[in-house]
Amino acid sequence: MRFLEEFRDPVLAEAIVARIAGLVTRPWVLMEVCGGQTHAIIRHGIDQLLPDSVELIHGPGCPVCVTPVACIDEALELARRQDVIFATFADMLRVPGSDTDLLACKAMGGDVRTVYSPLDAVQLARENPGREVVFFAVGFETTAPVNALSVVQARASSVDNFSLLVSQVRVPPAIEAIAGSPGNRVQAFLAAGHVCAVMGYREYEAVARRLGVPVVVTGFEPLDVLLGIEAALAQLERGEARVENQYARGVDRDGNREAQHLMKQVFRETGQSWRGLGRLEASGLQLQGHYANFDAREKFALPAVPSREAGECLAGDVLTGRIRPYECPRFGRECTPDSPLGATMVSGEGACAAYYRYRRNAGAHRA
C-alpha cells in the first residue's frame, strides 16, 4: 500500500536507528506535539529503540485532551436543553466535565448525536427546523476549515437554527508556551504533518528563530517519526535552530491557501484556555463578522460555568510532559478506557490511552 507499508519497513527503521546512534554525542530531549505521533511512538516502541541519551516527551498534541473542563461543561449545558440537538464527534462523548460527560447526558435524555462532519450537523438543522442544532467544533487547525465551511453553507442557505460551540486551538502558541515555561527541558519539537498540510510551516520559522529550537515537520508512520527525530538531532548536534520539512509528500511551506482563506473569512484569533497550559493568547479561534451569529455561546447567552478538574486526574501534567502516564498512581487502576478520570485516557490520540493500549506495564520498561 503506497506510503504505508514503505514507511513501516523494519529494515529501513533499523538503518535509521543506527544512523541516530552514530549521530548523537550528548543527551537531548525532544517533544512530539501530535497525538498521532505519540501513538506511533508507543505502538511501535520507537522510544525504546533510540539511544539512552535521547528522550522523547509527549506534548499537548491531542485536541480532545486539551479542551478545558469549562468547555465540556458548556457542551453539557447545551445538550441538556430540550430545544437542542447537540452534535459531536464520538471521541468527545466520554470526556469528563465537572460532574458527568455527554454520553451520560444522552442516557439521561439529552439529544446528543454522533456525526462524522459538521456538514452532517448542518443537514440535521435543515431536517429539524423547529429545533436548534449545535456542533461541538473542537480541534487544531486541521478541523478549522471544514468547521468554517459549515457556517458558510448554513448562512448561504439560511439555516439559522445551526451554531458552533467553538474550541479551536492553534499549535504554535502552545509550542512557545512550553519552550518558555520555567524548568522546560525540551530542546526540539516534532510538528504535526496534518496541521502543517493546512497551515504550511511559515509561522514555525519565526517560532524556531525566537526560541532557538529546531522544529521538524513530520508524519505519523514509524519511518516518518524516526526521520523527524534524526533531522531534529542533526540540527541540535550542529547547533542549528530552524524549521525542516520531513513530510514533503504531504506538506509544503505555504500549506493549503484556500483552506487558510476560508478560516480567515470566518474566524479571528483569540485567547484560549488549554487543559494543562492555562490561557494562551492568540491560541484559539472565534467566529467573527457575519458568522458571529452562529456562535452558540452568544446565541444561548451561556453563563460562565464554574468548573473543576477532577482532583485525582493528572492529565494536565501528562499533556505538558511533566509526567508520563504510568507515573500517575491511578493509571490502569481507577483510570481505564472503560472508566476514565480524564481526557487523556478517553481520546484516541491521548497519551494515557496509548500507554494503556500498547504498553500497560510501561513502568517496568525504559520509556
Q: Which of 67-81, 147-161, 275-289, 310-324 has the lowest mean pLDDT?
A: 310-324
- Tally the residues of the chain: 367
Rounded distance between C-alpha atoms, residue 321 and residue 31, angstroms = 8
Residue 15 shares a structural domain with residue 146:
yes
Per the DSSP assignment, residues forming a β-bridge with 29 are 55
On whether residue 364 sits in a domain, the answer given is no
pLDDT, residue 339, reads 87
pLDDT, residue 364, reads 40
Task: Please list, residue by residue across 30-61, b when 16 or more beta carbons sit within 10 angstroms of its beta carbon and e when fewer do.
Answer: bbbbbbbbbbbbbebebbebbeeebbbbbbbb
Rounded distance between C-alpha atoms, residue 239 and residue 207, angstroms = 16
Per the DSSP assignment, residues forming a β-bridge with 243 are 215
Residue 210 shares a structural domain with residue 190:
yes
Residue 301 shares a structural domain with residue 319:
no
pLDDT mean across residues, the chain: 93
On whether residue 214 sits in a domain, the answer given is yes
Q: Quick: pLDDT tens for 25-71.
A: 999 999 999 999 999 999 999 999 999 999 999 999 999 999 999 99
Residue 3 shares a structural domain with residue 98:
yes
**Residue at grid coordinates 452558540:** 296
pLDDT, residue 2, reads 64
Residue 55 shares a structural domain with residue 199:
yes
* Closest-CA residue to 57 (of 41, 75, 72): 41
pTM: 0.94
Q: In the chain, pLDDT over 90 holds for what percent of residues?
A: 85
Residue 238 shares a structural domain with residue 137:
yes
Is pLDDT at 366 greater than 50 in this prediction?
A: no
Straight-line distance from the first to the last Cα atom of the chain, in angstroms, rounded to the nearest whole number? 31
pLDDT, residue 362, reads 56
Is pLDDT at 109 greater than 60 in this prediction?
A: yes
On whether residue 363 sits in a domain, the answer given is no
On whether residue 366 sits in a domain, the answer given is no
Residue 257 shares a structural domain with residue 346:
no
pLDDT, residue 6, reads 82
Is pLDDT at 5 greater than 80 in this prediction?
A: no
Environment class of 86 (CB within 10 Å of its CB; exposed 0-12, middle 13-18, buried 19+): buried
* Closest-CA residue to 169 (of 145, 140, 143, 207): 140
The CATH code of the domain that includes 295 is 3.40.50.11740
Residue 118 shares a structural domain with residue 217:
yes
Q: Quick: pLDDT tens for 184-240.
A: 999 999 999 999 999 999 999 999 999 999 999 999 999 999 999 999 999 999 999
Q: How far is CA 97 from CA 41, 68, 128, in A?
A: 29, 9, 28
CB 22, CB 340: distance < 8 Å: no
Rounded distance between C-alpha atoms, residue 29 and residue 321, angstroms = 11
CB 43, CB 354: distance < 8 Å: yes
The grid cell for 230 is 534524526
Residue 200 shares a structural domain with residue 333:
no
pLDDT, residue 367, reads 40
Could you tell me the residue range of the domain that residue 324 belongs to?
A: 315-358
Is pLDDT at 313 greater than 60 in this prediction?
A: yes
SS3 248: coil
Q: How many structural domains compose the chain?
A: 2
Residue 322 shares a structural domain with residue 292:
no
Rounded distance between C-alpha atoms, residue 175 and residue 251, angstroms = 19
Q: What is the DSSP letter of 3?
A: T
Is pLDDT at 308 greater than 80 in this prediction?
A: no
Residue 267 shares a structural domain with residue 347:
no
Is pLDDT at 306 greater than 80 in this prediction?
A: no
